[in-house]
Amino acid sequence: MLRKRQPKRMQQTNLKTKYENLKKQINTIAKQCDNEQVSLLAVSKSQPAGMIEELYRCGQRSFGENYAQELATKVEALNHLDIEWHYLGKIQSNKIKSLAKHANVIHSLCKQHHIEKLQLELGKIKKHVDVYLNVNICAELQKDGCTPEEAIDLAKIIESECKNLNLLGLMAIPPKTYGDDEYTLPPEPYLKLGALCKTIGKPALSLGMTRDMRIAIMAGSSIVRVGTAIFGKRQEAK
């Protein structure tokens, strides 16, 4: 038996309710741990442009994408809105020109040659972007990211040689085993990253997703990257 599709008006109401409840949850956690400078990044990967526009009408202005081509498509489709576009995915050399053109914030820099190429492309179009360095906090072989020691060196390169890159701080994608249900307090890698972040960039910390939002905020995260708790199950991008 086919499930009856919800009317558009009901979908909009559900989205608004989820969004407002999430913001209240973030504010409550932030106040409890004296970290009241936390912002919400809506991760819109695989969500249609229409859904992004609906959330924009609810008040959200920052959206995150994981694929360069999807980011470019959505930037062009929604260029009538003053959205701040964040890129969260793995960086490929052949996509850096597109990222330079379309992204306002890049969270996933972790290699010197990517930093240098991004600076080159930004210089050509006379544009500045905010960036984070992606730290592989648990040294997981399957994940991209630099070591904490490499992050210190890369930060020096950005600050001394890359005038079109504004270094905000650090970003991390923690193991899937880390979550609010498993930890009462932030695990040690979160605390170490928070301490390191205080010496790099503004400083700002991009840490925390739907499953680990609470412990990330407790560890000092400045921005949480949430998709599922807002949009629900991912849809095919249109």
What's the CA gap between 112 and 235, in Å, rounded?
A: 34
Q: Which residue is listed with tokens 């999807």? A: 70
CA 173 to each of CA 8, 137, 147, 159: distance values in angstroms, whole numbers, following the listed order: 34, 8, 13, 24
Domains (range + CATH), the chain: 8-231 (3.20.20.10)
Nearest alpha-carbon partner for 115 in 71, 72, 159: 159
- DSSP 8-class letter at 81: S
Contact 139, 172 (CB under 8 A): no
Do residues 148 and 196 make contact, with C-beta atoms less than 8 angstroms apart?
Answer: yes
Encoded tokens for 208: 């925390």
Tell me if 203 sits within 8 A of 15, measured CB to CB: no
Angstrom CA distances, 97 to 44, 83, 227, stand at 21, 20, 26
**Of 182, 165, 186, nearest in space to 99 by CA:** 165
On whether the CB atoms of residues 90 and 114 are closer than 8 A, the answer is: no
Burial class (CB in 10 A: 0-12, 13-18, 19+), 25: middle
Q: Evaluate whether 100 touches 125 at the Cβ level (below 8 Å).
A: yes
Cα distance between the two ends of the chain:
26
| pLDDT tens digits in sequence order for the chain, 238 residues long | 444 555 555 456 699 999 999 999 999 999 999 998 899 999 999 999 999 999 999 999 999 999 999 999 999 999 999 999 999 999 999 999 999 999 999 999 999 999 999 999 999 999 999 999 999 999 999 999 999 999 999 999 999 999 999 999 999 999 999 999 999 999 999 999 999 999 999 999 999 999 999 999 999 999 999 999 999 876 544 4
Using a cut of 0.85, tell me whether the model's pTM lies above it: yes
